[in-house]
Amino acid sequence: MGLFHNPTVEQRRTRWAWTFLALPIVFYVVVRFWPTADAFVLSFEKWNLLKPREFVGWKNYVELWNDPVFWKVFRNTFAYLLIGTPISLVLSFFVAWHLDKVRFMHGTIRALYFLPFMTSAVAMAWVWRWFYQPVPIGLFNNLLSSFGFSQIKFLASTTNALPSVLAPAIWAGLGFQIIIFMAGLRAIPGSYYEAARIDGVSGLTVLWEITLPLLKPTIVFIVVFSSIGFLRIFDQVFNMTTNDPGGPLNATKPLVLLIYQTAFASYDMGYAAAQTVVLFLILLAVSLLQLYIMRDRV
Amino acid sequence: MADLALHGLTKTFGKTKVLHGIDLAVQDGEFVVFVGPSGCGKSTTLRIIAGLEDATAGTVEIGGRVVNNLEPKDRDIAMVFQNYALYPHMTVRKNIGFGLRTSRLSRAEKAARIAEVAGVLGMTDLLDRRPSQLSGGQRQRVAIGRAMVRDPKVFLFDEPLSNLDAQLRTQMRLEIKKLHKQVGTTIIFVTHDQVEAMTLADRIVIMKDGVIQQVGTPSEVFNAPANVFVARFIGAPAMNLLPGSWREGGVALDMGGQIALPGRQLADGTRVDLGIRPTDLAISADGAGQITGAITLVEPLGAESMLYIDAGGVEIIAACPGRTAPDPGQQIRLSADPEALHLFDATTGEALR
């Protein structure tokens, strides 16, 4: 029973499986895993793309630790995560929960919510950037002033800029989360709700004790997915603060944008790699933490 | 006490009318089984009684009180669902206790009630398990427990046994019957399985296309079916129907042969269907039988065998003792007990008595 002469069905199947898997594996190793590994190596080196790479030990990490901009960016990134994830989670659940009950134009309404998810983030960022401009250009400020309110500096203020950039990012992700939530809601058997009706419990009890616990796998998925999205936010920030990316005064700059600037504006590849490693570790930690918290499967 | 009455119940979904005026009176403590093929409206009727659906017209009365406009929780009913509707994230205790969420009992009283129900169902040891850790039969019992804990006036069962395998189904059937004897509460039970209906019911309600075909005790519907549908639906294998015309105090069968039905009067030439249950046909050794045919297939069931007989183009099923079953291909003569013959009007399908 050799593997090549007269193989068993099992062996033959395995052989075919590996044949088909070979291409993606090669692709992933060359395009994903190897560069990832190299980034870890690079984070201990100094390299400006032209001179040879030079080992510098922990220097990049020490520099990062002592860099006030890095800490500012670090805080920003977590602000995106900690504001964005819960808001988008609650909003998308709220919409999905109600949309699930709507029969009238259900498909159209759902498509409308999904539309932003399919739209290019860059185009959307620029439209929102226009919304935020002062009078007479910006939509929001025009509305405010026509009702007699004073204008708001959306993107020009260090306190308002981050939420203003976050808003379209939340909006853009909403459609996807709504679809996932609706799928989760649909998967709950109707008899659970009917049994609850016969037991006569309140709508709030049904929501808290039946719907939400049964949606837990869906919620875990959406939380992990949107967390990763917010931790990697870039397009919206870069395009909406295009005159001074991440500005004003680094108020909106997320980690990915910092990495981008370190690498492709300052050409400090080793330092950028160190930042990337930090981002990777944050993503890993956040994901593992969430999976751990929500591990108790239904 | 809790007698249940339905008066002229109709239900329309969009343009489809699924219930055409259901009238039924159920006595307190009675075990009534609704049976019929899929789409006959039996589940819809149950859901209207439960208050999960609104009736288009007609009234539902429970304990002498019209409950049409009451919420399910205020109707004093409990329901067991086909898929049990057990919450997978709650323990058995919580699942059973969920029915008491809105009751005004104290915590201790609720706990005592749950313990009592668990005791009756023999699942005291399982109270801290989750539904996923239970077998099908145990889950079924939890679902019943959840209904029992509410101490309702009427139990509603919506095909509760159809998710169980055959052996377990027989066992649970027995348990439900025992439970009814023990608790004595009125039960409305929906099933598509006529065996379940026969074994469980005090009275059977046979439905088809939103119309009640017959209401009666198991022996009534078996021995005196009101029409062809009931005759063929109750009893397995189904009753044989032999087309023919009335002539001279008997039926002249289209496939040939005359069967006398003493004591009945019909106009000569009336088109009728003669109904004979497979178990009421006997092979006549002396060649005296009225029906002749060739055996095409023999289905051995152990104790008895089913003979599929081609009698002049009509397929007839006859039961015979398993040990003495004839072989396929053989020509046989069959005789039927005149007492066990059923006569139906060929055009309306109604029984002729």
Question: Which B residues in the span 55-84 are in contact with A, Cβ-Cβ below 8 Å?
Answer: 71-74, 77-79, 81-83
Q: How far apart are CA A296 and CA A213, in angstroms?
A: 11
Nearest CA distance, B24 vs chain A (angstrom): 23
> Per-residue pLDDT for B191 more than 90?
yes
Note the ipTM here.
0.82
pLDDT at residue A298, rounded to an integer:
45
Q: Point out the least confidently predicted range of B94-103, B191-200, B282-291.
A: B282-291
Among B182, B177, B203, which residue's Cα sits nearest to residue B169? B177
Tokens for B6, please give them. Answer: 């339905």
Domains in chain B, start-ordered, CATH in brackets?
A: 4-233 (3.40.50.300), 240-345 (2.40.50.140)
> Per-residue pLDDT for B52 more than 80?
yes
Nearest CA distance, B32 vs chain A (angstrom): 20
- Touching check for B85 and chain A: CB below 8 Å? yes
Angle at A211 between CA B138 and CA B161, to 5 degrees: 25
Q: How far apart are CA B77 and CA B71, in angstroms?
A: 11
Longest pairwise C-alpha distance within chain A: 87
Q: How far apart are CA A11 and CA A13, in angstroms?
A: 5
CA atoms within 13 A on the CB side of A233: 36
Contact A201 B51 (CB under 8 A): no
What does pTM read for this prediction?
Answer: 0.80
SS3 B307: strand
pLDDT at residue B171, rounded to an integer:
87
Among B260, B231, B227, B263, which residue's Cα sits nearest to residue B246? B260
pLDDT at residue B10, rounded to an integer:
93
pLDDT at residue A8, rounded to an integer:
86
Contact A200 B74 (CB under 8 A): yes
Q: What is the mean pLDDT of each run of 10 residues along chain A (298 residues)?
A: 74 90 92 90 86 85 88 91 94 91 85 85 89 86 86 84 90 90 91 89 89 90 89 89 82 89 87 91 88 70
> What number of other Cβ atoms are within 10 A of residue B145's Cβ?
25
Contact B81 A195 (CB under 8 A): yes
pLDDT at residue B287, rounded to an integer:
63
Q: What is the mean pLDDT of chain B?
A: 89
Fold of A67-293: MetI-like fold (1.10.3720)
Q: How far apart are CA A41 and CA A270, in angstroms?
A: 9
- Touching check for A190 and chain B: CB below 8 Å? no
* CB-based contact B156:B46 (threshold 8 Å): yes
> Per-residue pLDDT for B128 more than 50?
yes
Interface test with B, best of A188, A193, A194, A199 (most B CBs within 10 A): A199
> Per-residue pLDDT for B138 more than 70?
yes
Chain B residues with CB under 8 Å of A216 CB are: 89
Interface test with B, best of A198, A205, A208 (most B CBs within 10 A): A198
For chain A, what are the domain ranges?
67-293
Tokens for B345, please give them. Answer: 């009007």
Q: Which residue has the tokens 């004595």?
A: B184
CA distances from A18 to A13, A21, B257 (A): 9, 5, 73
Q: How many CB pairs under 8 A join A and B?
A: 58
Could you write out the DSSP letters of every residue in B69-124?
TS-GGGGTEEEE-TTTT--TTS-HHHHHHHTTTTS---HHHHHHHHHHHHHHTT-G
Of the candidates B79, B82, B89, the beta carbon closest to that of A198 is on B79
pLDDT at residue A116, rounded to an integer:
83
* CB-based contact B241:B344 (threshold 8 Å): yes
pLDDT at residue B342, rounded to an integer:
92
- Touching check for B105 and chain A: CB below 8 Å? no
* CB-based contact B218:B201 (threshold 8 Å): yes
Interface test with A, best of B49, B71, B79, B156 (most A CBs within 10 A): B79
Nearest CA distance, B101 vs chain A (angstrom): 7
Q: How far apart are CA A61 and CA A90, in angstroms?
A: 37
Q: How far apart are CA B15 and CA A179, in angstroms?
A: 32
